[in-house]
Amino acid sequence: MRLYKVVLNIFIVGLFVTQSTTIAFAQSKFEIAGYVKDATNGETLIGATIRAISSKRVTQTNTYGYFSIALNSNEDSLAVSYIGFQTTYYKINTNKKSNIAIELKPLQISSKEIVITGEKSNKQITSTTMSIAEISGEKLKNLPVILGEQDVLKAITLLPGIKSGGEAGTGFYVRGGGPDQNLILMDEAVVYNPSHLFGFLSVFNSDAVKNIEIIKGGMPANYGGRLSSILNVTMREGNNQKTQFSGGVGLISSRFTVEGPILKGKSSYLISGRRTYIDVIAKPFVPENVKGNSYYFYDLNVKTNLVLDEKNRLFFSGYFGRDVLNFQSPRNKDVFFNFGWGNNTATLRWNHLFNKQLFLNTSLIYNRYDLFNDFTFGNNGFNVKSGVEDINLKMDFNWFGLNNHSIKFGYNYTFHKFQPGILSGSIGTTNLSQAINPQYAHEFAAYLADEWKISQRIALNLGLRAVAFNLVGPYDQKAYDPDTGLPTGQVKTYQSSESIAFYPVLEPRASINYLINEVSSVKASFTQTYQFLHLATTSGAQFPIDLWVPSSKKIKPQLAYQYAIGYYRNFLNDVVETSIEAYYKPMFNQIEFKPGAQLFFNQNLENEMVFGNGLSYGVEFLVRKNSGRLNGWVGYTWSRSTRQFDQLNQGQVYFYRYDRTHDMSLTLSYQLNKKWTANFVFVFGTGNAVTLPSGRYAYRFGYNITENKPELVFIDVYDKINSYRLPAYHRADVSFTYIRKKTEKWESSWNFSIYNVYNRANPYFVYFFPDVELGEVKAYMVYLFPILPSVQWNFKF
């Protein structure tokens, strides 16, 4: 109950502070505030740059498109810019007391020449934030695709410091961290498993995505809970001007979106769905003996927003997605296997403006990831279910009331429920009913952050996040014999809400920006983060069956420090941005599993874990051109990521599986003419570190009397972890987007992509085959995608 009281107290104090500040700072200086929107559909624009020309102040819109800026005089103008939109100038009307709405028009291509003048801000230079990258939904649509599917998670791996897990996988690894060390948020709701199709596609439908932000270092204090990164996916709100239908038809799935106003200009809705038809397409090609297989996935995004009045807005967004795999034995039709998994999220948000200086967002969030597994044969059968779900309440305040300060504070309370497994069913006369004890935890965080412009040259962002994680009952803590894995019979029973493990921690955050001149700056940051939730996997990748487990008495929270320093330089009137960032990230209480650990339906999972430390460091280079006929970026990362566990690899330091010495990506987009755009992607990465067997032995002796020879199986022996390298990964993709028709009422475009243009055989995995007849062992490399053309048709009306 202690945490509930803390939450309540903070809420009351928060409200008191807000009311006090309203009184204290209202009318204290000239202030202009409002929203920046897309003129065509009324969608708010995140991260738009607002520059007060005379006052020489700069700010950006927040996640809800809101901004507030203090002016030195009331004789000023605002220059508002956003990538892909025309820069708009807004003359301050000193008599206007309400919030303003600045609408930006998308860039148009004139009939005579192509003029693409995207964002020309020096945000990169002036902001204290570092190690943050954004990709807009529009940019995402222009990237080459595989199998006709745009993908958020594949797109972000084109940025420096973010590595792909391998061929076509959606797993990503940020600055040497594991896949579970990325907090993936969709409209603030945690997405525990971000992939469809066993990791080949992400759960994010590109039609419903407005913006993607990835924070890989210098983490702001309002975020926490993961060591390596925050991936913040913001869903579109829907067109509040007119009803619109859009969609796309790809090789393996199709999408359809409907959006429109509820109250024109004020409120809107969006419903977007996607389903794959792999099961239908693949059917003719599937061999007879596996005809019983079928696989499909679908997802649904909904969002609506309602402007209650000038100071209050409500948002509701939801996601429901599921993968389903069925198997029926062709020779044994009474045997049926049904396997499904998916995420559900629901986010209810209330934006409230106390005044121009104080913005509040309150969110109530529910998210769940669950897995079910039904197995039936005849009249018998059983099913296994598992999952994790959260209920989350958070309040985030933005206060612009102090000159040269932008203050954020708030709190976040999450109730976690972990259900590792429930088994039920019957086989013959035996009823099955077993459950691994569910676990419950409270996680409470409060934060305060101040972006303080100390002088014209120096800006400081200081933050402190206080977190308390409390694993609580009801729970029966069984003791196990470490040798046999069997329960000893000793059970410690925790009553409901009784504390099992309690971790109060502080996470200081700091970053500083020294402006060398108008086009260059130096930044440094320090971040301390804890992680209380851990993914139980032995493969280094994320699978549907993997479980999330909480910190406990034995499982200490993971801890990371990250030190980063960077130099930033803009060229050509801010059209070209360049940066170089170096980071050093020691990590503690890292979790691995013993070789051959049994994870599924294991009550004693903790006994399979081993604990150690990690270290990552590297240098990242980025050159980015955001505007012009030719735009894109090139990124390069040199890095190291290692692990050390006393119980693994004889205690010696070893390379992390996704350690990648060199990682490079080139992304280019070129507007050929009014109708055609060409896009090009090239990626190169050092091969993954893999563990290969150094030896083997023959075992399970038997003598085949019929053939008069011994029968043996061979078991691999491993000496060193990740001591080998797969061949380097590299690939080039091209795509052409053809706008067939674009009018007020109808848009139609085609995307022609070629994945892996030069047909590089990139390693997916390596295996060995001992050929007993020939008396030799052969090594084979499996690769997934050769040159792969695809086409996608998109429409909007």
Shortest CB 399 distance to other proteins, Å: 48
For other proteins, the binding residue among 479, 698, 746, 750 (CB under 8 A) is: 698
Nearer to other proteins, 746 or 767 (CB): 767
For other proteins, the binding residue among 9, 434, 493, 652 (CB under 8 A) is: 434
Q: Is there binding between residue 476 and other proteins (CB under 8 A)?
A: no
Q: Is there binding between residue 482 and other proteins (CB under 8 A)?
A: no
For other proteins, the binding residue among 310, 476, 646, 719 (CB under 8 A) is: 719
Backbone φ, ψ for residue 39 (5° rounding): -65, -25
Residue 284, both tokens:
């003719």
For other proteins, the binding residue among 114, 263, 486, 572 (CB under 8 A) is: 486
Which parts of 192-231 interact with other proteins (CB under 8 A)?
A: 197-198, 200
For other proteins, the binding residue among 106, 265, 504, 695 (CB under 8 A) is: 695
For the chain, the farthest-separated pair of C-alpha atoms sits apart, in whole angstroms, at 101
Q: Is there binding between residue 723 and other proteins (CB under 8 A)?
A: yes
Q: Per CB under 8 A, which region of 42-50, 210-218, 330-338, 564-572 contacts other proteins?
A: 330-338
Shortest CB 545 distance to other proteins, Å: 6
Binding mask 368-407 for other proteins (x = CB under 8 A): ---------x--x---------------------------
Residues whose CB falls within 8 Å of the CB of residue 620, separated by 6 or more in sequence, listed in order:
160, 161, 579, 580, 581, 582, 583, 635, 636, 637, 639
Residue with tokens 């999972």: 605
Q: Is there binding between residue 335 and other proteins (CB under 8 A)?
A: yes
Between CA 736 and CA 753 the distance in angstroms is 6
Tell me 604's DSSP state.
T
Tell me 149's DSSP state.
B
Q: Is there binding between residue 758 and other proteins (CB under 8 A)?
A: no
Tell me 7's DSSP state.
H
Burial class (CB in 10 A: 0-12, 13-18, 19+), 717: exposed
Angle ∠(424,430,435) on CA atoms, nearest 5: 30
Which parts of 343-362 interact with other proteins (CB under 8 A)?
A: none
Closest CA to 130 of 42, 223, 218, 23: 218
Q: Per CB under 8 A, which region of 92-100, 257-265, 519-527, 598-606 contacts other proteins?
A: 598-606
Which parts of 27-56 interact with other proteins (CB under 8 A)?
A: none
Shortest CB 300 distance to other proteins, Å: 22
Q: Is there binding between residue 489 and other proteins (CB under 8 A)?
A: no
Q: Per CB under 8 A, which region of 342-350, 387-395, 496-504, 766-774 contacts other proteins?
A: 766-774
Q: How many CB atoms lie within 10 A of CB 264?
A: 12
Q: Is there binding between residue 7 and other proteins (CB under 8 A)?
A: no
For other proteins, the binding residue among 350, 452, 494, 764 (CB under 8 A) is: 764
Residues whose CB falls within 8 Å of the CB of residue 573, separated by 6 or more in sequence, listed in order:
120
**Type of residue numbered 756:** N
Which parts of 629-688 interact with other proteins (CB under 8 A)?
A: none
Q: What CA dihedral angle connects 372, 234, 227 and 632, to 10 degrees? A: 120
Nearer to other proteins, 452 or 600 (CB): 600
**Type of residue numbered 518:** E
Q: Is there binding between residue 479 and other proteins (CB under 8 A)?
A: no
Angle ∠(522,523,526) on CA atoms, nearest 5: 155
Shortest CB 173 distance to other proteins, Å: 15
Between CA 532 and CA 449 the distance in angstroms is 22
For other proteins, the binding residue among 717, 746, 789, 797 (CB under 8 A) is: 717
Shortest CB 745 distance to other proteins, Å: 38
Q: Per CB under 8 A, which region of 21-29, 577-585, 594-602, 672-680 contacts other proteins?
A: 594-602
For other proteins, the binding residue among 5, 91, 331, 745 (CB under 8 A) is: 331
Shortest CB 35 distance to other proteins, Å: 44
With beta carbons less than 8 A apart as the criterion, state whether 581 and 130 touch. yes
Closest CA to 203 of 150, 162, 164: 150
Binding mask 510-549 for other proteins (x = CB under 8 A): ----------------------------xxxx-x-x----
Does the N-terminal peptide bond of residue 474 adopt cis geometry, omega within 30 degrees of 0? Answer: yes
Residues whose CB falls within 8 Å of the CB of residue 373, separated by 6 or more in sequence, listed in order:
337, 338, 339, 340, 383, 384, 385
Shortest CB 227 distance to other proteins, Å: 21
Burial class (CB in 10 A: 0-12, 13-18, 19+), 117: middle
DSSP per-residue codes, 290-320: GTT-EEEEEEEEEEEEEEEETTEEEEEEEEE
Nearer to other proteins, 485 or 504 (CB): 485
Q: Is there binding between residue 491 and other proteins (CB under 8 A)?
A: no
Q: Is there binding between residue 168 and other proteins (CB under 8 A)?
A: yes
Q: Per CB under 8 A, which region of 102-110, 547-555, 609-617, 707-715 contacts other proteins?
A: 707-715
Between CA 720 and CA 757 the distance in angstroms is 36
Between CA 278 and CA 487 the distance in angstroms is 45
Q: Per CB under 8 A, which region of 504-512, 521-529, 677-685, 709-717 contacts other proteins?
A: 709-717
Q: Is there binding between residue 720 and other proteins (CB under 8 A)?
A: yes
Q: Is there binding between residue 332 and other proteins (CB under 8 A)?
A: yes
**Beta bridge mates, 712:** none
Nearer to other proteins, 28 or 539 (CB): 539
CA distances from 643 to 177, 178, 347, 449, 608 (A): 10, 11, 37, 32, 18
With beta carbons less than 8 A apart as the criterion, state whether 304 and 262 touch. yes
Nearer to other proteins, 106 or 693 (CB): 693
Between CA 163 and CA 180 the distance in angstroms is 14
Q: Is there binding between residue 117 and other proteins (CB under 8 A)?
A: no
For other proteins, the binding residue among 265, 504, 651, 710 (CB under 8 A) is: 710
**Beta bridge mates, 81:** 49
With beta carbons less than 8 A apart as the criterion, state whether 562 and 526 touch. yes
Of the CA atoms within 13 Å of residue 64, those in its CB half-sphere come to 27
Q: How many residues bind other proteins (CB under 8 A)?
A: 93
Shortest CB 274 distance to other proteins, Å: 17
**Beta bridge mates, 70:** 31
Nearer to other proteins, 377 or 584 (CB): 377
Q: Is there binding between residue 691 and other proteins (CB under 8 A)?
A: yes
Binding mask 770-789 for other proteins (x = CB under 8 A): x-x--xxxxxxxxxxxx---
Which parts of 266-295 interact with other proteins (CB under 8 A)?
A: 278, 282, 286, 290, 293, 295
